[in-house]
Structure formats: structure tokens, C-alpha cells
Amino acid sequence: MTVLHLADEGEAADLAAFLARLLHYDRGAAVRLQASGTALAVFGRPPSFEVLAIRAVRLAKPYEDGLDATLDVTVSAGELLESIDEPAGTALVPKAVTGPPWAGVLPPRGGWRPEAGLPAPDALRAMVSAAVREFRSRTEELAPEGRTRAELDRIGREIWSRTVGNTQLPVRAVHAAQSLGFLRPARTAGPPEETSPVLFSSGAWLRLRTPYGSIAVRRDSGLGMLGVSVR
């Protein structure tokens, strides 16, 4: 079984936390792993948010035998989490599984350019809190006979599909970043462009990048729609 040597114990702990959060929303979650050189990208899709979550993990040494070796496989998130040895900074790559449809549809690797109009981190967190309060308030006001799944979904779509600041990013993307632990303050001080969330675009995709991970979403919404990169 392939062993991944993570950069340190902190990288192992962060990867474990990310996988645990994905499993909180989907106990049968799968993740797609792509490794090349000393970088590992872990892709997941929490179903509640309809976004793609990406966690970048630093490796202690180039994957496998060198820079020319690559890893690209879809595995069980639960099995990967169980295999992580935090003190040793290692993880075992589980056997491949038949990936869900989203695993074959990933954002482009390049062509990303910065997008203006994203509010400050504190404003983003406040926006999510306000949206959660609004959802709870509006659903609690419903009469028992009106509290249907369809009505709850309608209210949720209305709130979470709103755009953030002067951007096309839906609020649900920021909610996902908050829920997956990507929107917390950076551990160390540094230039704002390195410690604050930044919005990028490439084709039909938007990507909210933070020091702890990224959230990608299509502007026309739908990870399963045609016209995206399939790998």
C-alpha cells in the first residue's frame, strides 16, 4: 500500500480535520487525490453546499520515486482518515473506489486570475452568521403544515444563492468555507494577500482561496453541467 509522507504533524492533523468535516456531511464521502512532486491536492464535495472543496497538503518528499511520478485516484474519505498517523506524519492511500460523478469534473489547473469585490474576512464570517440566523428565523415562522422539505429547500436556495459583495460568488461557497474550517484566521502574520481569502476566476469557475483550503463553484451553478474540464 502506498505511503504518503506528509510535511509534518500539523499537515497530518489538518488533513484529518478536513476529512472528518467532509464525513460529517456525508458518511460515505469519497475524495479524489492528486499528488505530484511535494504537493498533494485532496478534492471533496460536501453535498449540503453544492461546491467543490480542495485541501492542499504539503508532502515531506516528492511523491513516490521522484518528480515524474504522480498519483491520481479516488478513495474512501473514511478509510483515508483511519490511515492517518498524525505523530508520524504519514497516511496510507486506500484502494481505489468507483468515484461519484463530481470526481471526474475538476476545475482547471491554470488560467486563474484575481477577482475584485470580495469583503474582508470578518465581514464574510458575519455574512454567514446572518444568513444562518435568517434561515432559522424564516423556517421557524412556518406553520407546521407549511414546513415541507420543498419549502425549506426553497428558502435555503434563496438565501444561499445570493452573491457576496460585488462578486458572483454565492453565499453558500463562503458558508462551505466556514463549515470546513477554511475561513478561520491564519496561524501566522503575513501579507494580506497570503493570509486573507482571495477570489479567483477561470472560465466558468470561481475559486475562493484561503490559507487552509479552497472552495470552487461554477458561476452558472452545477458541478455536473457540461462544458467543464473532465479528467
Residues 140 and 210 in one domain: yes
Kindly state the cell numbers that stand for 76: 474512501
Residue-wise pLDDT for 36-94, tens only, equals 889 999 999 999 889 999 999 999 988 765 545 678 999 999 999 999 999 999 999 99
What pTM value is reported for the model?
A: 0.86
Residue 169 CA to residue 208 CA, distance in Å, equals 8
Q: How many domains does the chain contain in total?
A: 2
Predicted confidence band at 219 (pLDDT cuts at 50, 70, 90)? confident
Residue 48 falls within a domain, yes or no?
yes
Give mean pLDDT, residues 162-168: 94
- Give CA 135 to chain center in angstroms: 22
Q: What is the pLDDT of residue 36?
A: 84
Residues 128 and 212 in one domain: yes
Helix then strand then coil, % of the chain, to nearest 5: 35, 25, 40
* Nearest by Cα to 100 from 44, 172, 57: 44
Q: What is the pLDDT of residue 228?
A: 32
Among 104, 121, 156, give the residue marking a domain's end. 104
Q: What is the pLDDT of residue 61?
A: 85
Q: What is the pLDDT of residue 151?
A: 95
Q: Structural domain of residue 52, as residue ranges?
A: 3-104
Supply the mean pLDDT for the chain.
88
What string of DSSP letters covers 9-39? HHHHHHHHHHHHHHHHH-TT-EEEEEEETTE
Residue 230 falls within a domain, yes or no?
no
Q: What is the pLDDT of residue 37?
A: 85
Among 50, 76, 104, give the residue marking a domain's end. 104
Kindly state the cell numbers that stand for 47: 453535498
pLDDT of 221 > 60? The answer is no
Residues 23 and 85 in one domain: yes
Give mean pLDDT, residues 116-141: 95
